[in-house]
């Protein structure tokens, strides 16, 4: 147990699916897992362990932002012996080739955050996902006929700001923006673990006409991404 996770070590699977929203974790457990059991509810950050196609899997929320993801994923890797974490979440799309509900697999996370530097002296602003885990996800996407968009993501520390404030070097060509992947990837590299991030487009950044998913759609209508993550386990 940790100050943020009341689960016993044996109650957490070696592979964890991490949505940001605790209610999305609950939704996945109730609709996709067999014999799911609530193993953590500290601070309302729900975690469930059950099985999917006979494979033991834990689904646990990360909360919003780099610090929250940093805490929960670090503890899972360090104190619960988790090997793989797949973040699933939503993203604002930059690319004109993306539309609402398109699915993205993140290759690298770009951020100006100091998280990685403070964690273990990693001064890189571009941190990669696990190539091995990403290859598994690509294979499962083909099997499940998911049109997967692959690219870099901007991991921002600020949600409420002008679109112009989402500055990124053109050479990194980020196709969307979210708020958690940088900490997850940094933790995985620091602890010699594996991490991946699958995202569903929930809104179009800078669109002349506002286009976004409702809160209900964000929680309940992301099944293609959820199933892809579970199949990749």
Read off the DSSP letter of residue 130.
P
Write the DSSP string, 56-97.
Answer: EEEEE---SSHHHHHHHHHHHHHHS---EEEEEEEEEE--TT
* Catalytic choice (34, 99, 163, 203): 203
Q: Residue 153, CB half-sphere, CA atoms under 13 Å: how many?
A: 33
Read off the DSSP letter of residue 205.
T
Which stretches within 84-208 are classed as H helix? Answer: 115-120, 131-143, 181-190
Annotation says 102 is catalytic: no
Q: Which residues are designated catalytic?
A: 203
């Amino acid at each position: 147990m940790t100050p943020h996770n009341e689960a016993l070590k044996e109650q957490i699977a070696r592979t964890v699916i991490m949505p940001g929203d605790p209610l999305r974790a609950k939704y996945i457990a109730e609709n996709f897992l067999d014999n799911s059991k609530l193993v953590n509810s500290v601070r309302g950050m729900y975690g469930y362990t059950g099985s999917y196609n006979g494979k033991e899997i834990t689904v646990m929320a990360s909360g919003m932002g780099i610090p929250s993801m940093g805490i929960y994923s670090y503890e899972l890797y360090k104190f619960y012996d988790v090997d793989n974490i797949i973040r699933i979440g939503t993203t604002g799309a930059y690319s004109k080739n993306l539309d609402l509900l398109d699915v993205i697999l993140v290759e690298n996370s770009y951020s100006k955050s100091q998280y990685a530097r403070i964690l273990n002296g990693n001064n890189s602003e571009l941190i990669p996902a696990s190539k091995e885990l990403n290859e598994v996800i690509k294979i499962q996407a083909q099997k499940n006929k998911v049109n997967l968009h692959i690219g870099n993501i901007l991991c921002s520390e600020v949600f409420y700001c002008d679109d112009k404030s989402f500055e990124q070097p053109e050479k990194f060509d980020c196709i969307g923006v979210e708020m958690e992947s940088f900490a997850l990837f940094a933790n995985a590299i620091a602890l010699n673990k594996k991490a991946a991030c699958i995202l569903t487009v929930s809104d179009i950044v800078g669109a002349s006409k506002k286009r976004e998913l409702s809160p209900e759609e964000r929680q309940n209508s992301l099944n293609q991404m959820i199933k892809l993550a579970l199949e990749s386990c």
